[in-house]
Structure 1
Amino acid sequence: YIIVIDKGYGLLSMSTERIKTGTAYSILSDYVKSQNPENKLFIVHRLDRDTSGLMMFAKSKGIQEQLQHNWHNIVLERKYVAVVEGVMEQPEGMVRSYLTENAAFQVYSTDNPDEGQLAITRYKVLGGNSRFSLVELDLETGRKNQIRVHMHDLGHSIIGDRKYGAHGSPLGRVALHAVKLRFAHPVTRREMNFETPIPARFLSITSGANRINTAEK
């Protein structure tokens, strides 16, 4: 009924007007058709090109619609990890705003509920050093570019994310990874829990947290 993949960064979730092949969708579609030419594939949700991690597909139109229409009831937990610039002021917290988009496709926050869609992101600092912080992010809503905008709003843009204020790209990518996806199976109702490791480069660039914490104590 469903397929969950661990998408690599730099890989488009689906085709665009310019790029039709070599996407997560086209690669996986070729895979299911190699098993049976009648097999089809349907995208349930997307990850940005430079975001890696867990992504779900449906194997029928009916399952896709069921997942999308009941997304907030079916999905029990979605967590990401990111490396952000600087030292976070608070060890954990929440960002709440309304997200809207301008003509240049730039998403931004507003306090006016009539201008955008409600977006809520909870965050928790996992570690870091004097330059970067490793942050776990729990989505209560799933708006376009939500995490990227909210980290920018806090003054700690995700490294490599120049579109939303990052000053540099020390890893040569946007350091955002979908690390956990927990949901109720749309048919069996059984709880499904998928996790993927935090990228090793995220951990190496934020190393030194223990030394900082020890010094503070």
Structure 2
Amino acid sequence: MEQQDPRVADLGFARVDVDRAARTGDPEVVFGAGKTPDQVVAILRTLHAEHPERAVLATRLASEALDAVATELPGATVDVAARAATLGPLPEPRGRVAVVAAGTSDGPVAAEVAVTVAVHGSAVDRIDDVGVAGLHRLMSVRDRLEEADCLVVVAGMEGALPSVVGGLTGVPLVAVPTSIGYGASLGGIAALLTMLNSCAPGITVVNIDNGYGAGVHAARVARQSAPR
């Protein structure tokens, strides 16, 4: 008989990594795309049972999965804008991440960043609609950029905002290209290439619409930067 690995919870359709928090400091996260509502609920319930002391996260949830989580897991918090859900108490925040969005249309990705940062143990400062088409809006929040331990800058269209922010401050910065834009934006590729080719030093770039990846990185930077 095959011996069950205690680091894995085998649900039949998924092998849930219940040891990840011990290895990395953060529990496994449910990537909801392609999973049925019942599967999302089952994985969240399993992770919560292993980590009742802190929130676990599910991302990229369809509306049916969001409804199922809200119904089947009464203690869960559903974030419709982020298409995400959390179950369990958020950790005490250490450090602060400013989530800077170029436009309102970038809001869903920025929302995914924000909920991810909170679940991964840092405070969030949302700064919305400060794109390069109106630089005065960005300059009016410059003090909030400087006060953060890490920045996540979310932009579609031509993706210029991270370069501008990176030229204004030396705070560690993660750039997130979004798929927002007209035809020649190529679903976010134009913004991605702009960010990868930025002349501003010290910018880290994640994949198109990857608010989750940016949020994890930023929270870890902020946690490490904050006074202990």
TM-score, normalisation: structure 1: 0.27
Higher-helix-fraction structure:
2
Structure with higher strand content = 1
Query: Larger relative CO (CA 8 A, sep 6+): 1 or 2?
Result: 1
